[in-house]
Amino acid sequence: MFQIEPIETRNLDEWPDDAFRSEVRQFLASHYPPELRFPPRRLHFSENKPWYIALAKAGWLTPGWPRQYGGLGLSAGKQLILIEEYERHGCARLNDMGMTMIGPLLIKHGSIAQQEFFLPKILSGAHIWAQGYSEPNAGSDLAALRCEAIADGADWIITGQKTWTTLANDANWIFLLVRTDKSGRKQEGISCFLVDMSLPGITVRPIINLELHDEFCEVFFDQVRVSDSCRVGELNQGWAIAKNLLGFERIYLGSPRQSEQALDRLKLLGERMNLTEDAFFIDRFTRLQLDLEDLKCLFSHFADQLRRGETLGADVSMLKLFQSELYQRITEAMMEFAGEFAGLLEPMGGNRELHPGGAFIAARPTSIYGGTNEIQRNILAKNVLDMPG
C-alpha cells in the first residue's frame, strides 16, 4: 500500500482538546500572515500563497487525511476545533479543493499510481485543484450535465463547458464530471476525470460576480485529449462518487461564523449610526442575536454527533438553510440601518468592517451555492420528513 511520511511527526489527534486548541492558536499566532486576517472576499492563490505554504511546510494542509497519506489524521471533533480556531482568527479560505475533495476522493477511489502521482503534489502545493461540476444548463440539476468525453483508442476526447468553477483561474488541475454514455438515465453514464489545465483546448474565462470579483470561472473544453489513466473510479459510475464527496463540508456550510461576523459588524454599524440606545435597533439586533445563539446550539448538536463518531444525516441541511438566511437577514438589517451609506460601493470611511452594501451583496450567494436553499428544503422535506412525491 502506498504511503507518505507525515511531516507533522506528532500525533495531534491523541492530544487533549484543550492542549490541541492552544497548539493551534500558537501556530496561527506565529504562522498566519496578519495582513490576511478577515479578508473581505475569497482570495486568489497569489494572495494566500504564504499561508498555503506555511501549512504545507508544517504538514498541516490536510488535517482530515489519514497519517499514512501525509495528513494529520484528525478526528471530526479535532477538525471542528481547528476550524473554530481558524474562523476565530479570521483565516482566509485557501484554494482547498485538492485538500478537502480531490485528495480524499483519490484515497478512496484512486489507483495506486494516481495516489503516488497526485497526493504529494497536493501536500506540497504544487497542484492547485479546481472542481468542474456545474454547467450552464446543469446547475441545481447536476445530473443534466452534457460536457462529454468520447473514447478514442486508449484516450478520451473531452468537449464541453463548465461554469461556476471556483478559482479555476488559479488552478493547474481540474476534477471533471463528464458524460461518457448518453444511453441511460440522466444520473448514469457519468465519469470522473483528472485533467491538467495546461492541455491544449482548455480556455478559462473569469466570471465577474456581483462583488465585482473574479471568484468564479467558465472553463471551455474543445476536444481536449486525455489518457484513460486520468479517469478515476469506475467508468460511468461517477455520479455515485461525486454525490458522496460532500461529507464534512455539509456541517461546514452551516457554520455560524458568517452570521457571527456579520452580527459584530451590525453592532459596529449601530454604533456608527448612533443607534445603540434606539429601542427598535436593540430589538432587531436582539432577535438576530438570539437566532445566532440558537443556531450555535443546533450546530453544537450536530458537532457532538461528529465528535461521537456518528455519521451526519440529511437533517444537517437545516444548518446551512438557517445559517445562510440568518446571515442574509443580518446584512438586510445593515441595509435598513445604514442610511445612504447602504448605497456605497466601498467601505464607509475605508473601514473594511463597515461596509453594509458589500456585506449585503456578499451574503446573496450563500443561499445559492452548495445546492440552492430551495433544493435544501426539498431534501429536508423528502429525506428527513419523508414527505411524498
Partner 1 sequence: MTESDLRLIRESAGGIAPRTGDLKRIRALRFTTHGFDPAIWRQICDLGWPGLALSEAQGGSALGMAAFCALAEELGAALVPEPLISAALAASGLPETHNAAHLAGTNLILPAWQEQPDSLARTWHCQCRDGRLNGRKCFVVQAAAASSFIVTTAQGLALVPAAGEGVQLSVEKTQDGGHFGTLDFTDAPAEPLSADHGLAIEEATLATAATLLGVADRAFAITLDYLKSRSQFGKPIGSFQALQHRMADLKIQLELTRASIAAAAHSYDQGGTEALRLAAISRAKARASDSALLITRQAIQLHGGIGYTDEADIGLYLRKAMVLANLYGSAASHRARFAALSKI
Q: Rounded to whole angstroms, how far apart are CA atoms 10 and 78? A: 14
Select 78 or 284, whichever has its Cβ closest to a copy of itself: 284
For 32, residues 6+ apart whose C-beta sits below 8 A from its C-beta are 51, 54, 89, 91
How near is the Cβ of 338 to partner 1 at its closest, in Å?
A: 7
**What CA–CA distances, in Å, run from 85 to 28, 30, 120, 162, 184?**
9, 14, 26, 34, 46
Using the rule CB under 8 A, which residue among 14, 152, 196, 294 binds partner 1? 294
CB-CB neighbours of 90 under 10 Å: 15
By CB under 8 A, what part of segment 6-25 binds a copy of itself? none
Select 94 or 321, whichever has its Cβ closest to partner 1: 321
The size of the interface with partner 1 (CB under 8 A), counted in residues, is 71
Cell numbers 430551495: residue: 374
By CB under 8 A, what part of segment 102-161 binds partner 1? 134, 137, 139-141, 144
Using the rule CB under 8 A, which residue among 72, 262, 295, 306 binds partner 1? 295
User: Pick from a copy of itself, partner 1, none: which does 207 bind, CB < 5 to 8 A by kind?
Assistant: partner 1
Could you tell me whether strands 148-152 and 129-132 are parallel, antiparallel, or unpaired per DSSP bridges? unpaired
C-alpha cell at 136: 450552464
Please identify every residue annotated as catalytic: 249
Select 9 or 274, whichever has its Cβ closest to partner 1: 274
How near is the Cβ of 343 to a copy of itself at its closest, in Å?
A: 23
Q: Taking CB under 8 A as the rule, does residue 214 contact a copy of itself? A: no
Using the rule CB under 8 A, which residue among 283, 303, 306, 310 binds partner 1? 283
For 157, residues 6+ apart whose C-beta sits below 8 A from its C-beta are 149, 150, 223, 224, 225
Select 1 or 279, whichever has its Cβ closest to a copy of itself: 279
Using the rule CB under 8 A, which residue among 66, 289, 305, 312 binds partner 1? 289
The size of the interface with a copy of itself (CB under 8 A), counted in residues, is 4
By CB under 8 A, what part of segment 254-283 binds a copy of itself? 278-280, 283
User: Pick from a copy of itself, partner 1, none: which does 237 bind, CB < 5 to 8 A by kind?
Assistant: none
**What CA–CA distances, in Å, run from 165 to 61, 129, 180?**
22, 10, 21
User: Pick from partner 1, a copy of itself, none: which does 297 bind, CB < 5 to 8 A by kind?
Assistant: partner 1
User: Pick from a copy of itself, partner 1, none: which does 184 bind, CB < 5 to 8 A by kind?
Assistant: none
Rg (CA), the chain: 22
C-alpha cell at 18: 484543550
> What is the DSSP-derived secondary structure letter of residue 41?
S
By CB under 8 A, what part of segment 365-384 binds partner 1? 365, 367-369, 372-374, 376-378, 380-382, 384
Alpha helices in 14-73 (DSSP H): 17-31, 45-58
Of 293, 267, 259, nearest in space to 367 by CA: 259
User: Pick from a copy of itself, partner 1, none: which does 150 bind, CB < 5 to 8 A by kind?
Assistant: none
Cell numbers 494516481: residue: 114
How near is the Cβ of 201 to partner 1 at its closest, in Å?
A: 24
**Residue 53, amino acid:** I
How near is the Cβ of 285 to a copy of itself at its closest, in Å?
A: 12
DSSP secondary structure letters along 287-314? HHHHHHHHHHHHHHHHHHHHHTTPPP-G
How near is the Cβ of 141 to partner 1 at its closest, in Å?
A: 4
Select 51 or 299, whichever has its Cβ closest to partner 1: 299
Select 172 or 372, whichever has its Cβ closest to partner 1: 372
CB-CB neighbours of 385 under 10 Å: 10
CA angle 223, 187, 374 (to 5 degrees): 110
Binding site residues, a copy of itself, CB under 8 A: 278-280, 283
